[in-house]
Structure 1
Amino acid sequence: MRLPFRASLLACCIAALTACGDSNSPPPDAGTPQEQTDPCAPRGHIHREPEGDWCHCDRGSIASEQGLSCVPDPNYVPRDGFDFGDDGEHACFHVTNGPFSTVTASPDRLPRVDDFHTHYTVKLRQENGASVGTFNFKAWATGDFVLYLSTHDVAVTVKEGERVVEPVGTQATGAFCDGLKHMVGYELTDKVQYTVSFGPTPAPELGLVIEHLP
């Protein structure tokens, strides 16, 4: 009569140990964290900033009133080309009259080139036998911007993070001065941090004026 009792007691002990588990066993899998989706996609992308998140919407879209999303802009009219305004006459005024600033490219830091109405002498750095340089530019308005360059044969790349911002138009400047020869037009957005990269080019430096067109 004792065997059934002992067997029952042993079974209870095994069940208790199984329920408690091994103290050295790994914790249960909480699941793989899910990658955050962009609520502004596919018509834009989100900017997460200390002041609050906001949607940077693509051309033809606007931020919705309901929250963080981009919706079609009912008033958008596709543009035909880019209006360069006075073709560089005002920018050439700054070539002669300033204000003037010199910035030097560095692999360790990105100098700023976001002062309007300023003629920059941009000194590039050597890399693999050619001159290159990347600089910070923050758009303090939304709309059309023009990069006026002293030469047309230097490659220019504007980026927002890793996304390349394609130029809307390019054109030679008018015959107002010898210091600026080429214009590149962009649509940029207020509060957005961009980078402007030049080169590779054989030229060690170039002249630059950046203006926001009203």
Structure 2
Amino acid sequence: MSAPFHVLALAACALALSACGGDTPEPLIEPPPDDTPASTDPCAPNGHVHREPAGDWCHCNRGYRAAAEGLSCETDPDYVPSEGFSFGDNGEHACWHVTNGPFVTVTASTTRLPRVDDFHTYYTVKLRPEGGQYTGTFSYKAFATGNFVIYLSTPDVPVTLVETAIGTPVTPAGTRPTGDYCDGLKHMVGYELTDRVQYTLTLGPTPLPELGMVIEHLP
């Protein structure tokens, strides 16, 4: 008897004991429990796992790399510790986009996270009112591993970046004013990001309803 028909027969016995000729129905055999806790991370303690439709992968801490086989993080023999965050040209290239584009306008929403990860793009960011000021939350997916800079039109805006999958804030590697290349971008916030990782970017609260922004990967 095939497995589905066997299960149906047992269920019928449970409903009609006299017809099946027994006082106690035969118990269904349950599969053995999974002894591995759901919270176990195969990439820990030197990273954490990303479970995605295209396949699971390890996001390893700096100084480690994903193993060639299996889900784990191993020491990266080629890792060279950084001697400080570099802001590159201090915003000269980003300022070029203020004049030449491409231009995209995004509007903050409470129902979705607009994306702000187009390459080499000047964003006009429209924030939403909240508590007498303005704020906005957006989605950013890194397309490389290395130094990234968020260029803003004003320094007076709180910036928060969180790794979306695990809810962990990313500490800025540095902040400073841009060089005197344009009036549209005046402030830089630097981060060390990882390829393929999704981040959540929050701007504000601020009294300003609208900002200019460029996000660049520094080679």
TM-score (norm 1): 0.83
Confirm whether residue 166 of structure 1 aligns to residue 171 of structure 2: yes
| Counterpart in the other structure of 2:139 | 136
Moved more, 71-80 or 165-174: 71-80
Where 2:74 maps in the other structure, the secondary structure is strand
Measure how far apart 1:71 and its partner are: 1.6
Distance 1:83 1:172 in 2: 13
| Counterpart in the other structure of 1:17 | none
Q: Which runs of 5+ in 2 are unaligned?
A: 1-21
Measure how far apart 1:35 and its partner are: 2.6
Distance 2:64 2:181 in 1: 37
Structure 1 residues 31, 53: CA separation in 2 closer, same or farther (over 3 Å shift)? Answer: closer
Confirm whether residue 99 of structure 1 aligns to residue 96 of structure 2: no
Distance 1:91 1:167 in 2: 19
Measure how far apart 1:66 and its partner are: 3.2
Runs of 4+ in 1 over 6 A off after TM superposition: 20-23, 30-33
Measure how far apart 1:36 and its partner are: 3.6
TM-score (norm 2): 0.81
Alignment partner of 2:194 out of 172, 189, 212 = 189
Measure how far apart 1:37 and its partner are: 0.4
Measure how far apart 1:149 and its partner are: 0.6
Percent same amino acid among aligned pairs? 66
Structure 1 residues 156, 21: CA separation in 2 closer, same or farther (over 3 Å shift)? Answer: farther
Coordinate RMSD, CA, aligned: 2.2
Where 1:83 maps in the other structure, the secondary structure is coil
Count of paired positions: 194
Alignment partner of 2:181 out of 172, 176, 180 = 176
Q: Which runs of 5+ in 1 are unaligned?
A: 1-19
Structure 1 residues 37, 150: CA separation in 2 closer, same or farther (over 3 Å shift)? Answer: same
| Counterpart in the other structure of 2:76 | 73
Confirm whether residue 37 of structure 1 aligns to residue 40 of structure 2: yes
Structure 1 residues 101, 83: CA separation in 2 closer, same or farther (over 3 Å shift)? Answer: same
Alignment partner of 1:56 out of 45, 54, 59 = 59
